[in-house]
Amino acid sequence: MTTAKTNRQHVFAARPQGAVGADTFGLRTTPVPAVEPGTILCRNLWISVDPYLRLKMHDRESYTPPLQIGEPIPGRSVAQVVESGDPAFGPGDLVAIQGGWQDYALVRAQHAEAVDPALAAPESWLGALGMTGFTAYAGLLGIGQPKAGETVVVSAAGGAVGSLVGQIARAQGCRAVGIAGGAPKCASVVQDFGFDACVDYRADDYAAQLARACPDGVDVYFENVGGPVAAAVTPLFNMFGRIAVCGLIAQYDGQQGGDPGALDEFMRWVLVRRLSVRGFIVYDLYKDHPEFTETMAGWLRTGQVVERFNRHDGFDQIVPAFTGMLGGRNIGKSIVRIADPA
């Protein structure tokens, strides 16, 4: 039995106004929950930090319910089964779960995904083979529908989702153009992830640079950011361009002042260039892409897609990893190792 162990847990302590601060989170110690039939007790090994958590901190309608004060912080993790109340898993098995920012998680076995270390490193279930990779894959292929020879632009191109989107676009025979913050990150997007070009949205002549990087116009825009970053893409669209709205991270801390004319200008381009715009949330699309794991694992094996992790170490590094990712101090997928497999 595991009841002698305790469970450290990050909880939501205060709704941030603007940037997330140290007082946003609190720490609590709870007993490790007892296994019941149909559940598995898991020890978290690697924890994912994701932008949607910042959205959950607002007390307003979104695609995910607002966090309540005192609530444990949710999040994907790769974990090891400690004790099982279900024949599908046994102690020692590796699983991808909604494990939260804590040491131990009790989850229903039917909600756990088996991790096969023969296929890829276990962390990949938080990266290319997990929700992150599926978001890039299904959002680009299912909604962006790129065709060989077209130009695909993606914002937050040095991050977890964006870095994969460009590589998947290249695998379809497209020109991949990234948008990212700062010259070193843009250089990495081209050198490490093989994009054709990457433009620094902080540069004074960002819009002109973007136009030069897209000499044949833009056919697909994979939107991760919104605001002025996106506004520079719209006039470059070719006829019948597609916009896959994945995320709007520039809005997430609620501080960006709205430009009252921006929507009118955007809609003007939607009409003039006959654009299609579709927002998506990753869990809407799983049923459409049963081939995902096999295809992505194949790309990872052949090196057609490379994934990079922004690795942090230790339970006390979860919050810094999260705020660092929101602030752009990551290339690739941000994860935190809090324990090693037994």
Contacting positions for ligand NAP (CB under 6 A): 50-52, 132, 135, 156, 158-162, 180-181, 185, 224-225, 229, 246-247, 249-250, 280-282, 325-326, 328, 330
In angstroms, give the least distance from the CB of 82 to ligand NAP: 28
The span from the CA of 185 to the CA of 167, in Å, is 16
Instruction: Between 20 and 180, name the residue whose CB sits nearer to ligand NAP.
Output: 180
Instruction: Between 99 and 162, name the residue whose CB sits nearer to ligand NAP.
Output: 162
* Strand order, beta sheet including 276-279: 197-200, 175-180, 151-155, 218-223, 237-245, 276-279
In angstroms, give the least distance from the CB of 144 to ligand NAP: 13
Closest-CA residue to 310 (of 324, 294, 295): 324
Instruction: Between 269 and 280, name the residue whose CB sits nearer to ligand NAP.
Output: 280
Tokens of 256: 């960006």
In angstroms, give the least distance from the CB of 280 to ligand NAP: 6
Q: How many residues does the chain have?
A: 342
Instruction: Between 47 and 106, name the residue whose CB sits nearer to ligand NAP.
Output: 47
Structure-derived torsion over alpha carbons of residues 102, 284, 173, 155, reported in degrees to the nearest 10: -60
In angstroms, give the least distance from the CB of 92 to ligand NAP: 29
In angstroms, give the least distance from the CB of 239 to ligand NAP: 26
Instruction: Between 119 and 281, name the residue whose CB sits nearer to ligand NAP.
Output: 281
Distances (CA, A) of 74 to 10, 48, 177, 184, 261: 9, 10, 33, 32, 37
In angstroms, give the least distance from the CB of 123 to ligand NAP: 14
In angstroms, give the least distance from the CB of 96 to ligand NAP: 15
Say if residues 126 and 157 touch (Cβ distance below 8 Å): no
Instruction: Between 81 and 141, name the residue whose CB sits nearer to ligand NAP.
Output: 141
DSSP characters over 159-220: BHHHHHHHHHHHHTT-EEEEEESSHHHHHHHHHTT--SEEEETTSTTHHHHHHHH-TT-EEE
Strand, coil or helix: 78: strand
- Specify the DSSP element, H or E, that contains 230: helix 227-231
Instruction: Between 14 and 281, name the residue whose CB sits nearer to ligand NAP.
Output: 281
